[in-house]
Amino acid sequence: MIHWRNVLFITHADVTIEPLVPVPEWGLSLKGKQRHRLFNDSAAALLVTAIYCSAEQKAIDGAGILSEAVRVDPIVIETLHENDRSATGFMPAAEFQATADLFFAYPDRSIRGWERAVDAQTRIVSATRALIESDKSNGDIAIVAHGGVGALLLCRILGVPISRELDQPGGGGGNHFMFDRETWQLRHGWRDIGCG
């Protein structure tokens, strides 16, 4: 049986929100860790032979949990980080969602000092291409990162303009999509990691 070698882009699941701590330092909550462990039991996880993640703690946590199942050490890549929102820092949920709407709606503009969506997309696509090209493993690649840049990567894979319509479903993160590592053809869109 032929196995097409794929890339799984996995977003970190639920986090422990700590308003006084910089967002990149937030870790996974107990619920988030449980959801990642559910993914470890999936058929998709068993085919992973390489794990890459951003340097943000929540992504490192998620990658660490996956590594428990597949016995592969995660490789941290700085440029896999979420869109840079350091200009605003922590925001209440409603304010954050409204700002994120503008981020996707006006990709050529910096919204409230955030990294522009076009720049974040270029960065995540370049980082993904580079790690695929350098990877020497013989199975699937897992990238554990973030929802915003995941949506931007998915837009590029599908060849469509930047849009929040391709953002991950739900409110707590913890989703994945899969694409062919050679052709970049989408295998499937967003799925909850708790469902394999």
Model confidence at 136: pLDDT above 60:
yes
Q: Which fold has domain 6-195?
A: Rossmann fold (3.40.50)
Q: Looking at per-residue confidence, does 162 or 89 come out higher?
A: 162
pTM given for the model: 0.96
Residues 6+ apart with CB under 8 A from 188: 177, 178
For the chain, domain boundaries:
6-195
107-130 tens-digit pLDDT: 999 999 999 999 999 999 999 999
Q: What distance in Å separates the CA atoms of residue 35 and residue 28, rounded to the nearest whole number?
A: 10
* Residue 97, CB-side half-sphere exposure with 13 Å CA sphere: 5
Q: What distance in Å separates the CA atoms of residue 185 and residue 156, rounded to the nearest whole number?
A: 11
Tokens in use for 134? 């350098």
Place of tokens 């700590």: 18
45-64 tens-digit pLDDT: 999 999 999 999 999 999 99
Answer whether 141's CB lies under 8 Å from 131's CB.
Answer: yes
Answer whether 59's CB lies under 8 Å from 80's CB.
Answer: yes
